[in-house]
């Protein structure tokens, strides 16, 4: 088939399709003129709302008829079906906004109520949110009567004021408790410090008494040891002197005069001297030692010639 023949067929098909839907298009345009004249502006215009309803029903019926005719004609051929689809879309695109417009007119009251409800919801949410927080979002604020909402709002205001009052009381009570606790801690610390000082003084007194007692005991022990050592030294010296004297006496008995005189000098050196305390006595004892030393020296010098 030549190109111009195809075009003739397509044009013929389009004209045929248009013929099939011409009556529907005419009806739709007629209702379009009627629908566009309907404009509801007040809840009392019930006749206009009824007219919108009738127009909406009529257009719905036209769509139903168009879809039915479309289904019947589409079965002939693919090309025919495509043309039908285009016609269908054209008519539906024409009618759908009209239906929406008419539905808005039909439901003017409910739409306005919805708008008013949403507005009430937002206004009331702003009013009650400071007292309830985000929980207020889940309340049916738009549907409540003004009396119910005011009652709820007053209750939330009172509840918040009570919470704030209790919080202030709790804060004040906690501050007082903390202050009392601090005072008690200060008292305990002061008492402990007093006890510590008293214990330190007592322990120091005990330590001083012990030191005095220990010093006294040490002094007594040292004196006893000194006396014991002195007595032992005296005893040892006396024992040594006695033994030396015995030795000298034995020598004197056997020795000549010179030996006897030297033995006497030795015996004089071995004379035990007392341990004196007084200074005057010590001076006398020192003079005795000098004199004895002179005697010993004299004996030594004189016995040289014997």
Alpha-carbon distance 174 to 164, whole Å?
15
Mean pLDDT of 203-231: 84
Of 45, 77, 106, the last residue of a domain is: 106
**Does residue 126 form part of some domain?**
no
Put residue 133 in one of left, alpha, beta given phi > 0 → left and psi -120 to 50 → alpha. Answer: left
Rounded Cα–Cα distance for residues 147 and 155 (Å): 12
pLDDT at 141 over 70: yes
227 in a structural domain: yes
- What pLDDT does 147 receive? 85
User: Within a domain: residue 96?
Assistant: yes
What is the spatial distance between Cα 99 and Cα 53, in angstroms, rounded to a whole number? 9
Going by pLDDT thresholds of 50, 70 and 90, the confidence category of residue 238 is: confident
Query: Rounded distance, CA 221 to CA 210, Å?
Result: 16
Domain boundary among 106, 136, 155: 106
Q: What is the pLDDT of residue 1?
A: 42
Q: How many domains, the chain?
A: 2
94 within domain boundaries = yes
pLDDT at 78 (0 to 100): 66
How far is it, in rounded angstroms, from Cα 232 to Cα 228? 6
Q: What percent of the chain has pLDDT over 90?
A: 8
The alpha carbon torsion through 164, 170, 171, 176 (nearest 10 deg) reads 150
Q: Using an 8 Å Cβ cutoff, are 63 and 130 in contact?
A: no
pLDDT in tens, 93-134: 888 888 888 887 877 777 777 777 878 878 877 887 887 777
Q: Within a domain: residue 183?
A: no
Please indicate whether residue 138 or residue 171 has the higher confidence score (pLDDT): 171
Say if CB 108 and CB 49 are below 8 A apart: yes
Is pLDDT larger for residue 210 or for residue 75?
210
Provide the terminal-to-terminal Cα distance of the chain, rounded to the nearest Å. Answer: 191
Those residues whose C-beta lies under 8 Å from the C-beta of residue 106, and which sit 6 or more positions away, are 49, 52, 53, 56
Structure tokens belonging to residue 71: 């289904």
Average pLDDT value over all residues in the chain? 82
Model confidence band, residue 9 (pLDDT cutoffs 50, 70, 90): very low
Is 118 domain-assigned? Answer: no
Residue range of the domain that includes 60: 3-106
Note whether 274 and 230 are within 8 A (CB). Answer: no
In a domain, 86, yes or no: yes
- Lowest-confidence range among 168-182, 190-204, 217-231, 289-303? 217-231
Q: Quote the pLDDT of residue 29.
A: 92
Cβ atoms of 73 and 22 closer than 8 Å: no
Domain membership flag for residue 70? yes
Last residue of some domain: 61, 79, 106?
106
- Find the mean pLDDT for residues 33-37: 89
| pLDDT tens profile 17-29 | 778 888 888 999 9
Q: What is the pLDDT of residue 135?
A: 73
From the list 26, 45, 31, the residue with the least C-alpha distance to 96 is: 31
What is the structure's pLDDT at 6? 42
Burial of 238 (0-12, 13-18, 19+ CB in 10 A): exposed
Residue 69, classed as helix, strand or coil, is helix
Q: Is the pLDDT reported for residue 161 higher than 70?
A: yes
Question: Model-level pTM greater than 0.85?
Answer: no
> Three-state SS string across 175-220, please?
HHHHHHHHHHHHHHHHHHHHHHHHHHHHHHHHHHHHHHHHHHHHHH
């Amino acid at each position: 088939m030549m190109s111009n023949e195809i075009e003739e067929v397509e044009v013929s098909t389009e004209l045929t399709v248009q013929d099939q839907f011409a009556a529907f298009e005419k009806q739709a345009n007629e209702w379009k003129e009627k629908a566009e004249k309907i404009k509801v502006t007040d809840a009392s215009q019930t006749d206009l709302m009824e007219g919108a309803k009738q127009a909406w029903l009529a257009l719905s019926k036209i769509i139903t008829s168009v879809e039915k005719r479309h289904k019947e004609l589409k079965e002939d051929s693919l090309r025919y079906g495509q043309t039908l689809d285009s016609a269908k879309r054209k008519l539906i695109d024409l009618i759908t906004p009209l239906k929406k417009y008419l539905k808005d007119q039909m439901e003017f009251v409910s739409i306005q109520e919805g708008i008013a409800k949403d507005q009430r919801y937002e206004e009331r949410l702003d009013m009650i949110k400071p007292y309830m927080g985000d929980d207020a979002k889940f309340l049916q604020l738009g549907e409540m009567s003004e009396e119910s909402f005011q009652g709820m709002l007053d209750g939330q205001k009172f509840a918040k004021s009570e919470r704030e009052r209790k919080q202030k009381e709790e804060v004040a009570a906690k501050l007082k408790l903390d202050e009392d606790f601090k005072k008690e801690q200060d008292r305990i610390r002061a008492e402990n410090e007093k006890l510590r000082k008293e214990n330190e003084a007592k322990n120091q007194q005990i330590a001083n008494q012990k030191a005095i007692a220990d010093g006294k005991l040490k002094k007594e022990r040292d004196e006893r040891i000194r006396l014991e050592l002195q007595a032992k030294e005296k005893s040892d010296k006396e024992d040594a002197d006695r033994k030396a004297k015995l030795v000298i006496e034995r020598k004197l008995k056997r020795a000549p005069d010179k030996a006897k005189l030297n033995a006497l000098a030795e015996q004089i050196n071995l004379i035990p001297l007392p341990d004196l305390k007084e200074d005057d006595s010590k001076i006398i004892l020192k003079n005795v030692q000098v004199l004895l030393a002179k005697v010993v020296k004299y004996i030594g010098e004189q016995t040289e010639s014997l």
